Structure 1
Amino acid sequence: MIWGLLLIALLIAVYAPSLWVQRVMKRYSHPEGRYPVSGAELARELLDGYGLNAVRVEPTASGDHYDPQERAVRLSESHYQGRSLAAITIAAHEVGHAVQHASGYQPFVWRQKLVKWAGRGQQIGVGLLFLAPVLGGLLRAPALIGLLALGGIMAMGSGIVVHLVTLPTEIDASFKRALPMLQRSGYLFADVDPPHARRLLSAAACTYVAQALASLLNFWAWLRMLRP
């Protein structure tokens, strides 16, 4: 009974932030034609206002993000073409990351380095997990299996750390970059929109935290495999 309750509590803790983010995004995706500009048009306008003419604005099927390698703001189709509060707010958030990149904002720079490091770490982790039983069997060394598997899981867990340390960068992109941009743009309805835009920007900032919590389940599953 107690283990069942703990499991339910864990699932709620892991999935509640993600469900909240999805709910907020869905709520403010309507009405779709509320503003005179689409998310893509606003992103282009904001980027040009900062002199970032070389940064592209592109539609994507892999989620809203800013790609620093390609120097591109990428928006999901609904945010790229949509004229909802969600569309223009998320577009401003991603432009906020482009501005961070252009200005050399240190937490953004550190995050990019951590992302590369975590990516390599996860690749090494997967390799170690596959090699552990093979080498352990060939060498007949159970202790070696445990050490390699533990090293692999810890390497894979680096992605969780990266997601968690991203939060200050996301908060800056939302509230020190995107919100002032939106307020200066003149597109928000000053009497009603700001509180809702803040809620959306909070959801945008929490996206990576939700991903980190969800990845804990995979991490926990691998840890359970180490148990005798």
Structure 2
Amino acid sequence: MIFIVLIALVVLVLFLPSWWAGAVLRRHSVERQDYPGTGGEFARHLLDRYGMGHVKVEVTDRGDHYDPRDKAVRLSPAYLDGRSLTAVTVAAHEVGHAIQDHKGYGPLAWRSRLVGMAQGAEKLGAGLMMFAPVLLLATRAPAGGLIMFLAGMMSFGAAALVHLVTLPVELDASYRRAMPILASGYLPKQDLAPARRILTACAFTYVAASLASMLNLWRWLAILRR
């Protein structure tokens, strides 16, 4: 019974935030004819308003994001060309990251560097995980367990660290940058509470990702203690 409860809790922790976030985003993705522009046009307007005419607005099929290396706000087609509350809010959030970069917000730079390091660590960790069982079976030496420990730390520990650093950066872009902009006259008052829910829903996806990475790391540590 306890095992079933634990499994249910893990499923809720891992999948409920993502499900809820998707439901919130879809609920407010209805086209709004009372909005003067699309998400892409709104992003372009805000970038120009805040002195970032050099930052591009581009379409992407790899998830909405701001690229600090290429100086580009990238939006999915539905948000770039859509006139929905979700499109406008997501555009404002990504511009929030551009504002962070423009103002030299330190945690954004740390995250960018950490992501590159974590990607390398995850690749190395995956290679070690493939090699460790072979070594363990061939030699039955403690070195195999050590390699598996390093593999787990590199793969799941690096991912968990990235997500933990990412969450405060996302919250800052949402609540210290995007929300004050949206509330300064760009959205009707009745749309401000739903916009905040959209930003909260997006943040919850990072919480779920961080918890998933930590659960994976815990699982590897539990295996090695046996």
Please, what TM-score do these two structures have when normalized by structure 1? 0.90
- The DSSP-based 3-state class of the residue aligned with 2:186 is coil
Which 5+ residue runs of structure 1 have no aligned equivalent? Answer: none
State the partner residue of 1:154: 153
Q: Which residue identity is paired with 1:209?
A: V
**Given the alignment of the two structures, is residue 102 of structure 1 paired with residue 108 of structure 2, yes or no?**
no
Deviation track 1:129-185 (CA, whole Å, cap 9, x = no partner) reads 1221344455x143111110111011111111211222211111011111122223x
2-side partners of 1:132 and 1:149: how far apart? 6
Cα offset for 1:223?
Answer: 5.4
State the partner residue of 1:77: 77
Please, what TM-score do these two structures have when normalized by structure 2? 0.91
2-side partners of 1:34 and 1:26: how far apart? 19
**Given the alignment of the two structures, is residue 145 of structure 1 paired with residue 144 of structure 2, yes or no?**
yes
**Given the alignment of the two structures, is residue 8 of structure 1 paired with residue 8 of structure 2, yes or no?**
yes
1-side partners of 2:222 and 2:77: how far apart? 39
Deviation track 1:32-69 (CA, whole Å, cap 9, x = no partner) reads 54411100000000011111111111111111111112
- Indicate if the aligned counterparts of 1:174 and 1:204 stay in contact, CA closer than 8 A: no
**Which among 199, 203, 218 is matched to residue 205 of structure 1?**
203
- The DSSP-based 3-state class of the residue aligned with 1:62 is coil
- Indicate if the aligned counterparts of 2:66 and 2:97 stay in contact, CA closer than 8 A: yes
Determine what percentage of the aligned residue pairs are the same residue: 48
Question: Matches of residues 1-228 of structure 1 in structure 2 within 5 Å?
Answer: 1-137=1-137, 140-157=139-156, 158-184=158-184, 186-190=185-189, 192-216=190-214, 218-219=216-217, 226=224
Aligned residues: 225
Which 5+ residue runs of structure 2 have no aligned equivalent? Answer: none
- Indicate if the aligned counterparts of 1:108 and 1:169 stay in contact, CA closer than 8 A: yes
- Indicate if the aligned counterparts of 1:18 and 1:211 stay in contact, CA closer than 8 A: no
- Indicate if the aligned counterparts of 2:15 and 2:208 stay in contact, CA closer than 8 A: yes
Cα offset for 1:194?
Answer: 1.2
Cα offset for 1:227?
Answer: 7.0
Cα offset for 1:224?
Answer: 6.6
Q: Describe the shift of the 1:33–1:153 C-alpha distance in structure 2 as closer, same or farther (beyond 3 A).
A: farther
1-side partners of 2:34 and 2:16: how far apart? 29
